[in-house]
Chains A and B, each alone.
Chain A
Amino acid sequence: MNGIQLVLLTGLAFISLYFIIRLKKRILDIVLLTGMAACAATFIIWPDLTNTIAAKFGVGRGADLVFYISILIFWFVVLKLYARIRKLEQMLTQIIREDALNKAKEPTSQSGQL
């Protein structure tokens, strides 16, 4: 086992531990996460496996295949995050709107009926 494998495996272990502690009540997420972590560990320990799979997909190198899949996952995460931001923005809008409407009903010198 060389240096980079040790670094990657240590990082993977910490990330997995962090998520498993956070998601302890959601069985499906833990199974999915364990599966992904096991997959990542396998490819770190036996990197040549990625070359074999890449060849089956018609991609030259294993590293290229990992890169392409990463781009897809990246866009998926961006869209998920954006959907979350929109939801938060809608909630914020609702709160600010209710605040504005409530203050208009009780006119003061700062807001409401002039």
Chain B
Amino acid sequence: MLSLLRETTHKKIVIVIPVYNDTQTIRQVAEGLLQQAPFQIIIVDDGSAIPVNTTLQGLPIVCLRHQVNLGQGAALQTGFAYALNLQPDIIITFDADGQHAVNDLHALIQPIIQQEAEVVLGSRFIEKYNNRIPFFRNITLKTGRFVNYLFCGILLSDAHNGLRAFSRAAIEKIVITENRMAHASEILFEISRHKLRYTEVPVTVQYTTYSRQKGQSSIDSVKVLFDLILHKLFR
């Protein structure tokens, strides 16, 4: 992790974590990140029943709170709006349920540091290590990537992964208007619309009992599809 520490001394890295009722895991996730390097962490509490900042006392982070629950897409956009004021070099999105590995961050930001890409998307399908993906989740994700391809012409190996890195220039262009889960596809629309250079890097996703309970069910993907069609209709 020394290399990650070195990167943060040269580059200003902001991590945006959308949170909705993840009071069990959020402190652990934030502490895990801060132990690795002095990141600037922005936590967006998306209207959790119990405000998450009560569990984050004493940590050097910024916590924003939506008064009502709007959805992960809206929380990310709020985090981006705040992050841009900090003039960062790199913005990372990270899930609050503890399914992402801090060890993946170094590889995630390399394409941006090397100026090979403006957007880096994590993928659990590039290398099949440690990724024991539940059967129905696997089928949904495989179908999802083709749906994304139909809608925006970008064929990724993973349809929906919360671990991403953006250059500041990319975040200045990307605007998320889909409040709920369709934001993942909307980010691809925006990449395509602004002709941003993107790449995928392999990441691990740990399916804990908690993250599976908290995460989306396969039925939710039908809602995402419905939101996408309406997004195209009402643009």
Interface: A27 (CB within 8 A): no
The one of B56, B58, B64, B68 that contacts A103, using a Cβ cutoff of 8 Å? B64
| 9-residue interface stretch from B75-83, B165-173, B186-194 | B75-83
User: From residue 67 to 114 of chain A, which have CB atoms closer than 8 A to chain B?
Assistant: 79, 82-83, 86, 89-90, 92-93, 96-97, 99-101, 103-104, 110-114
The one of B53, B81, B230 that contacts A111, using a Cβ cutoff of 8 Å? B53
The one of B57, B64, B233 that contacts A104, using a Cβ cutoff of 8 Å? B64
User: From residue 61 to 87 of chain B, which have CB atoms closer than 8 A to chain A?
Assistant: 61-68, 70, 74, 77-78, 81-82
Q: Are B57 and A101 touching (Cβ within 8 A)? A: no
Shortest distance in angstroms between B17's beta carbon and chain A's nearest beta carbon?
13
Q: Are B78 and A97 touching (Cβ within 8 A)? A: yes
- Known A-B contacts A111-B53, A114-B56; the reply to A103 vs B65 at CB < 8 A is yes
Q: Are B44 and A100 touching (Cβ within 8 A)? A: yes
The one of A90, A100, A103 that contacts B177, using a Cβ cutoff of 8 Å? A90
Q: Are A93 and B179 touching (Cβ within 8 A)? A: yes
Q: Mark B4-20, 1 if CB is under 8 A from A, else 0.
A: 00000000000000000
A/B interface sample: 21 pairs, CB < 8 A = A83-B234, A86-B230, A89-B179, A90-B177, A96-B66, A96-B67, A96-B68, A97-B66, A99-B67, A100-B44, A101-B81, A103-B64, A103-B65, A104-B63, A110-B53, A111-B53, A112-B62, A113-B62, A113-B63, A114-B56, A114-B61
What are the 3 tightest A-B residue pairs by CB atom distance, in nearest-first order? Answer: A100-B64, A97-B78, A104-B64
Contacts from B to A (Cβ < 8 Å): 44, 51, 53, 56-68, 70, 74, 77-78, 81-82, 177, 179, 230, 233-234
Contacts from A to B (Cβ < 8 Å): 79, 82-83, 86, 89-90, 92-93, 96-97, 99-101, 103-104, 110-114
